[in-house]
């Protein structure tokens, strides 16, 4: 049974707003956890326990002047670059399944906004398109610092995308499908893929950390440097869209990790559906924050060497071994 189109629209509206709220309070969670891990205070002024800090940040970004360099020749491209990054980050979450689906009165409600047979490829395709927002934003700013930052971003994201894609080949082979829903059902029938695909999980998570520009792979943003990469010439909400896309990419990648390796909405007991999914998602996001609190930043040459000489061969060997085992035990 297929759900009516108007239910899909309502569900998309609700999910988009939930993801935006999750982004806002992920910034609060990160500051709180970093404060606890580094023995200092996190947000504690705006609201009880600093819970209104994301709202204060939003008001500040909205009211801040959005300047544009005089040397920018194409203002439309300058404005559209952060919108591309933001749109692709949100669109990628639309194929992530968070529940088995429900029957409400005479209607059926799917556990995801969009269920397509090539959902995994769609996620990677949208991630590749999102890179154009970072590249174009740095180029159109007409600043050598922004241009160099965008080139550095492109080099990192494209190189680690190869390892990210190869790391999931074992999951695709074992799940026998590119549909995320089918992969989740397959894990419920057999075993969570985190166990037989432990190497793939580790490669996927490390490459995903680089894809989302999180520490120790935070060179594209370089927030501790005087010149902060590709978005140097952006301010106000235009800069805020870049920040939003980065956090939503982290949430989407965590949700994809839960779906591919930890059986999505299934739990070891009590079929709680979306509650299991969001609990696993919370744990994955917290691990991203934990890494930022503990690991030093890698140099650029170390970063590239680690990607091409370590992750790529390991991901390739893992995929080949998985295919051989599946064929042998057929």
pLDDT tens track for 228-271: 678 888 988 998 999 899 899 999 999 999 999 999 999 887 66
Contacting residues for 316 by C-beta, under 8 A, at least 6 apart: 166
Q: What is the mean pLDDT of residues 287-312?
A: 80
The encoded tokens of residue 326 equal 């599946």
Question: How many structural domains is the chain composed of?
Answer: 1
Domain extent at residue 103:
5-328
Q: Please say if the pLDDT value at position 296 is more than 80.
A: no
Which residue would you say has higher pLDDT here, 83 or 225?
83
Residues near 73 by Cβ (< 8 Å), separated by ≥ 6?
Answer: 140, 142
pLDDT at 304 over 80: no
pLDDT tens, position by position, 5-52: 888 899 999 999 999 999 999 999 999 999 988 888 888 888 898 999
Positive or negative: CA dihedral 244, 246, 250, 253: positive
Q: Could you say which DSSP state residue 102 is in?
A: E
| Degrees to nearest 5, angle at CA 138 with 135 and 143 | 150
Tokens 């390892």, residue? 163
Q: Give me the mean pLDDT over the 175-202 stretch.
A: 93
Nearest to 93 by CA among 191, 38, 174, 20: 20
Output the CA angle 259-214-281, nearest 5 degrees: 25
Asked if pLDDT for residue 64 goes beyond 60, the answer is yes
Residue in 12, 183, 200, 217 with CA at minimum distance from that of residue 109? 12
**Residue 56, pLDDT above cutoff 90:** yes
Q: Which residues contact 185 (CB under 8 A, 6 or more apart)?
A: none
130-145 confidence digits (pLDDT tens) = 999 999 999 999 888 8
């Amino acid at each position: 049974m297929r759900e009516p189109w108007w239910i899909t629209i309502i569900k998309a509206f609700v999910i988009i707003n939930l993801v935006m709220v999750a982004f806002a309070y992920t910034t609060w969670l990160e500051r709180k956890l970093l404060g606890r891990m580094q023995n200092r205070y996190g947000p504690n002024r705006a609201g009880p326990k600093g819970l209104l800090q994301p709202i204060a940040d939003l008001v500040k970004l909205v009211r801040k002047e959005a300047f544009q360099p005089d040397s920018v020749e194409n203002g439309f491209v300058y404005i559209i670059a952060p919108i591309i990054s933001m749109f692709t980050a949100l669109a990628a979450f639309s194929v992530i399944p968070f529940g088995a689906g429900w029957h409400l009165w005479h209607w059926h409600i799917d556990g995801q906004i969009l269920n397509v047979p090539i959902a995994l490829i769609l996620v990677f395709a949208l991630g590749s398109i999102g890179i154009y927002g970072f590249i174009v934003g740095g180029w159109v700013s007409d600043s050598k610092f922004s241009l160099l930052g965008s080139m550095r971003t492109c080099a990192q994201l494209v190189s680690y995308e190869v390892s990210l894609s190869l790391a999931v080949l074992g999951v695709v082979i074992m799940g026998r499908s590119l549909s995320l829903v089918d992969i989740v059902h397959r894990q419920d029938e057999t075993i969570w893929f985190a166990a037989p695909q432990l190497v793939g999980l580790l490669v996927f998570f490390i490459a995903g950390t680089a894809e989302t520009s999180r520490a120790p792979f935070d060179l594209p943003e370089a927030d501790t440097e005087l010149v902060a990469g590709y978005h140097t010439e952006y301010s106000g909400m235009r800069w805020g869209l870049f920040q939003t896309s980065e956090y939503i990419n982290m949430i989407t990648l965590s949700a994809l990790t839960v779906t591919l390796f930890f059986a999505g909405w299934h739990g070891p007991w009590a079929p709680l559906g979306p509650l299991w999914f969001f609990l696993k998602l919370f744990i994955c996001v917290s691990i991203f924050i934990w890494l930022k609190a503990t690991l030093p930043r890698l140099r650029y040459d170390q970063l590239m060497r680690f990607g091409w000489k370590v992750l790529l061969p390991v991901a390739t060997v893992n995929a080949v071994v998985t295919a051989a085992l599946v064929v042998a035990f057929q």
